[in-house]
Amino acid sequence: MGERFAQVDGLRIRYLEEGKGPEVLLLHGASLGSSADVWERNLGPLAGRGLRAIAFDQPGFGGSDDPADFSVAYRRRFILQFMDALKIQKANIVGHSQAGAMAVTLALEHPQRISKIIVLGSGSILPPLPDGAKQSGPREGEEGGSAEPTPEETRALLEHNLFNHSLITPEELDKRHRMSIGKNFAAFHKRGQAGQGGGGKESLPLWQRLEQVPAPMLFIYGRQDRGSAAQRAALLKEKYPNFKIHLLDRCQHLVQWDAAPEFEKLCGEFFSS
């Protein structure tokens, strides 16, 4: 696996890459401490399935520079700019958590650039529970506190997102904590203040427009994920019976950690079919 840097829209962007073949962009979520490193364990196996797997730190995350615009809309547009910098005309995308909605919206806006999409653990793309029942936990991108976290608090956030706590090795915890403090903590709060920045203006929520997406889609959720994800994924299947929706057991929000072999198998089969 190679750590590389690219200049994109005037920003120095860190990314990880492994393998050759059809390009797959792996987009991390927006919780505090997120970075391309959430895909580190998956890059090699995906490369072994004949894919060029690329994961980048979005602007304001990880080792990438901070943007002037911290909105979701900017980060969505930035995906295409990153693809242009790497001379990728059309790519497959895996969008985790908040990035799932980013990928789907991008496919609606620029269908000529997106081949296939895997939506991974994205609660914002699921129907709400009936009778106004509330989904538990913070919304995507809000997983973090008002003060810079201690290592213990970083561990607690990881435990909240993982079924298998043994995956939180000292090395993983140190990496996640380093990505959660300093400039990245400041960027986390700036994102909260920026909001959508031009997104969310459609009259219908995104889950009601999924049939309009021209790219083939696969949905993967952890059965034990927060926000009643399993129940809401079942509602999505009722509305769209032809959609490919997988619920993986013994998984919470970081499905690509909790169920790495199953996730990688589904990716390989979907993107090579």
Predicted local confidence at residue 200, as pLDDT = 46
Q: Does domain 2-126+139-272 have CATH number 3.30.230.30?
A: no
For residue 194, what pLDDT is reported? Answer: 87
What would the pLDDT profile of 176-222 be if each residue is shown by its tens digit?
Answer: 999 999 999 999 999 999 876 654 455 789 999 999 999 999 999 99
pTM for the full model?
A: 0.94
Domain boundaries, the chain: 2-126+139-272
Instruction: Give the pLDDT confidence score for residue 143 in this predicted structure.
Output: 84
- CA 228, 60, 166 angle in degrees (round to 5)? 50
pLDDT bracket for residue 144 (50, 70, 90): confident
Question: Residue for token digits 């993967």?
Answer: 220
Q: Beta strands 217-222 and 244-248: pairing type?
A: parallel
Going by pLDDT thresholds of 50, 70 and 90, the confidence category of residue 135 is: low
- Gap between the Cα atoms of 78 and 73, Å rounded: 9
Percent of the chain at pLDDT exceeding 70: 94
**pLDDT tops 80 at residue 258:** yes
Closest CA to 184 of 5, 31, 28, 18: 31
> If we measure between CA atoms, which residue out of 224, 231, 228 comes closest to residue 249?
224
DSSP state of 128: P
Q: What is the pLDDT of residues 220-238, one digit of tens each?
A: 999 999 999 999 999 999 9
Q: Report pLDDT for 136.
A: 60
Residue reference for tokens 């590389």: 4
Which residue, chain included where needed, has tokens 């120095």?
12
- pLDDT for the residue 202: 57
State pLDDT tens for residues 75-88.
999 999 999 999 99
pLDDT, tens digit (0-9, with 9 covering 90-100), for 99-128:
999 999 999 999 999 999 999 999 999 999
